[in-house]
Amino acid sequence: MFLEVKNITKKFDDTDVLKGIDFNLEKGQVLSIIGSSGSGKTTLLRCLNFLETPDTGTIFVDGDCIFNAGDTHKKSFEEIRENRLSFGLVFQSFNLFPQYSVMENLMLAPKLRVKEKVKKEKLPKAELKKMYEEIHAKALDILASVGLSEKVDAYPCQLSGGQQQRVSIARALMLDPDILFFDEPTSALDPEITGEVLKVIKSLAARNMTMIIVTHEMNFAREVSDKIVFMDAGVVAAEGTPKEIFESENERLHHFLASFNNAQ
């Protein structure tokens, strides 16, 4: 298994938001997480990305333990920072850096990273320039793949929501994450432009990007996922292939999907 999540629990004050989450994911697969509002989907994603610290549980990536709540010593921000490299996260509200152009948004983190590396390994300055050029070329490639070649020099405030979300996907891709997470990537968008973002995610799936997607777009989840996890009140209430999930007899799942169909 590429990603193994075991017994993740999380409490806020006195409410148990996550009550022991387990799931696995193979490399190159797409996992969708569905579930009603407040079931803990965002909290789970935040725990996996170290934005929250789970109370219990372990996370293994490719056999390496990157999180263990039982560890006696609390991980420092620095150590967590190293582990973050395996993951990318795309936010519901994009969170682009407004003062930077699209290109600068993409290049910021990789540039800082190579700068650190050059400093640490005492490489010659010329090396840095070459690395910056490589990063620039890579950014152009990635922008082309999300269909935003023309917006290289635009600022976030000059872009539509769909374009901003595609930039934020591109920004996450710049660091070559092993797993890319999405938290309702289209929820903040007008319905008519969700398609352009979903298309980008589908193209990533076609290139075997390992992804975990929290979504309320049921048709999209059915189409793109290898596996779907249904969360309910802080537990994984059902999991399986899209076919298994959408044909499941599980009562809570049935209820959830029915409410969805009625709402649409």
Partner 1 sequence: MSFIDITLELLAGFGYTLALFFLTLVLAIPLGMLIAFCRMSNCKPVQNITKIFIWIIRGIPLMLLIFMIYYLPGLLGVTNVFHNVDIYFTSLLKSNEVVKIGSFIAVLIAFVINYACYFAEIFRGGIESIPHGQYEAGEVLGLTKTQIFTKIVLKQVVKRILPPMTNEIITLVKDTALANAIAIPEIIITAKDFAARQAIIWPLFYTAVFYLIFVGLVTIILGKAENKLSYFKA
Provide the binding-site residues for ligand ATP, judged by CB under 6 A.
12, 17, 35, 37-43
Contacting partner 1 within 161-190 (CB under 8 A): 168, 171-172, 175
| Least distance (Å) between residue 40 CB and ligand ATP | 4
Both tokens of 162, joined, read 């769909």
CB contact burial 23-56 (16+ within 10 A = b; e otherwise): bebeeebbbbbbbbeebbbbbbbbbbbbebebee
| Site for partner 1, residues 49 to 78, rule: CB under 8 A | 49-51, 77-78
Task: Verify binding: residue 160, partner 1, rule CB under 8 A.
Answer: no
Closest separation in Å from C-beta 259 to ligand ATP: 13
216-222: which pairs have CB atoms within 8 A and are 24 or more residues apart?
A: 216/34, 216/184, 216/187, 216/260, 217/186, 218/34, 218/257, 218/260, 221/32, 221/34, 222/246
Q: How far apart are CA 54 and CA 45, in angstroms?
A: 11
Q: How far is the CB of 47 from Mg ion (least distance, A)?
A: 13
Among Mg ion, ligand ATP, partner 1, none, residue 99 binds (CB under 5-8 Å by kind): partner 1
Applying CB under 8 A, does 132 fall inside the site for partner 1? no
CA 238, 244, 249, 251 torsion: positive or negative?
Answer: positive
CB of 136 to ligand ATP, least distance (A): 36
C-alpha to C-alpha distances, 184 to 59, 94, 181, 187, nearest whole angstrom:
22, 10, 10, 5
Q: Do the Cβ atoms of 41 and 5 come closer than 8 Å?
A: no
From candidates 128, 155, 223, 252, binder to partner 1 by CB under 8 A:
155
Of 54, 51, 74, the C-alpha closest to 12 is 54
User: Rule CB under 8 A: is residue 95 a binding residue for partner 1?
Assistant: yes
Query: 142 vs 218, which CB is nearer to ligand ATP?
Result: 218
Least Å distance between CB 51 and ligand ATP?
Answer: 10
By beta-carbon proximity to partner 1, the closer residue of 84 and 216 is: 84
| Chain centroid to CA 20 | 20
Binding site for Mg ion (CB under 5 A): 42
3-state secondary structure of 48: helix
Q: Which is nearer to ligand ATP, 36 or 145 (CB)?
A: 36
Residues making contact with partner 1 (CB under 8 A): 49-51, 77-78, 81, 84-85, 87-89, 91, 93, 95-99, 108-109, 112-113, 155-157, 168, 171-172, 175
